[in-house]
Amino acid sequence: MKTGRFWAWVVFGLGAAYFFIPLIATVEFSMRMRRGVYSFDAYQIVLGDPRFQATFGYSVLAALFTIILGVLIVVPAAYWIRLRLPQLRPIVEFITLLPLVIPAIVIVFGYIRMYGSNSPLPFLASDRGTDLLLVIGYATLALPYMYRAVDTGLRTIDVRTLTEAAQILGAGWGTIVTRVILPNVLIAVLSGAFLTFAIVIGEFTMASLLNRPAFGPYLQNIGANRAYEPAALAIIAFAITWGCMSLIQILSRFAPKSANRPN
């Protein structure tokens, strides 16, 4: 028994070292900008760079719109499939997995061909149109995560009976979705939202090919031309991702508990 515990700790230690040593090395390197002493100069430069603020702000805004679009598409779709079209679930699951299989570069070239300035839907003819197309593209990229998160949330509640209980009490579809279904899968939706956020913040291909001032191309540009700042940026991006994950954990404590498993 004691031997088993010893080896468990060894494996845990190796795993932790695998994850933390590169991270610690990056932190250490990012703080060596000033010769001979550790400093946060690289962080100050990065955070003080107007391009950082502009691109990060742009990407945060794009992430928010992507989340809104994703929730508006995925929640009603996943709900309706669970309620009325369960036979379509395998097909929809396959479709939502496609963005994992089809590279973003293929999707974005498709967009450029479909929505160029000479097409019937010329999204690319204006900046706002291109922004909109970028958000749509991001929503597509985030679809596998958002759909799975919401579907898993819906699996934890008795969708059909709750819907019927609300209907018989006089509720219409809007009330049912907003006051019964959404609050009960809110944590799942938030999980999907934070995953979407993490994807959008670091996304490079689409933003670069659509020529939008997003955080991903800025990261790439800094990485190619500077020494210490990319390490500081990597740590900042990492902190943002971890912050998102921590928020999921904190919010999941407030999830409505299932009434079907009392005490």
Partner 1 sequence: MADPFLSIQHVRKSFGATTVVEDFNLDVERGEFVSFLGPSGCGKTTVLRMVAGFEEPSAGKIVVGGKDITRLKPNQRNVGMVFQAYALFPNLTVAQNIGFGLKVAGMPRADIDARVAEMLDIIKLPQMADRYPYQLSGGQQQRIALARAIAPKPKLLLLDEPLSALDAKVRVSLREEIRSIQKKLGITTIFVTHDQEEALSISDRIAVMYGGKAEQVGTPFEIYNRPATKFVANFVGTLNVLEGKVTDAAAGTVQVNSEQVSLKGKLNGSKSGDTLSLALRPEAISLGRQPGRDSSLSGEISEVHFLGSVIRVRVGIGGNTVSLDTFNSPATPPPAVGEKAEISFSSDDMLVLH
| Binding-site ranges for partner 1 (CB under 8 A) | 157-158, 161-162, 164-172, 175, 180, 183-184, 256-263
Which lies closer to partner 1 via its Cβ, residue 161 or residue 211? Answer: 161
Vertex 257: Cα angle to 253 and 261 (nearest 5): 140
The DSSP call for residue 90 is: H
Rounded distance between C-alpha atoms, residue 214 and residue 144, angstroms:
22
Which lies closer to partner 1 via its Cβ, residue 57 or residue 183? Answer: 183
Q: How many beta carbons lie within 10 A of that of residue 250, not counting itself?
A: 9
Shortest reach from residue 152's CB to partner 1, in Å: 16
Q: How many beta carbons lie within 10 A of that of residue 20, not counting itself?
A: 11
Non-local CB neighbours of 220 within 8 Å, separated by 6+ positions: 204, 208
Shortest reach from residue 174's CB to partner 1, in Å: 11
Q: Which of 123, 256, 134 has the alpha carbon at shortest distance from 189?
A: 256
Shortest reach from residue 105's CB to partner 1, in Å: 42
Which lies closer to partner 1 via its Cβ, residue 34 or residue 84? Answer: 84
Which lies closer to partner 1 via its Cβ, residue 167 or residue 205? Answer: 167
Kindly report the backbone phi and psi dihedral angles of residue 224, in degrees, each rounded to the nearest multiple of 5, phi listed first: -80, -20
> How far apart, in Å, are the Cα atoms of 162 and each of 107, 110, 176?
38, 41, 9
Which lies closer to partner 1 via its Cβ, residue 79 or residue 218? Answer: 79
Shortest reach from residue 147's CB to partner 1, in Å: 22
The DSSP call for residue 258 is: P
Which lies closer to partner 1 via its Cβ, residue 168 or residue 250? Answer: 168
Shortest reach from residue 180's CB to partner 1, in Å: 6
Widest Cα–Cα separation across the chain: 73
Shortest reach from residue 191's CB to partner 1, in Å: 17
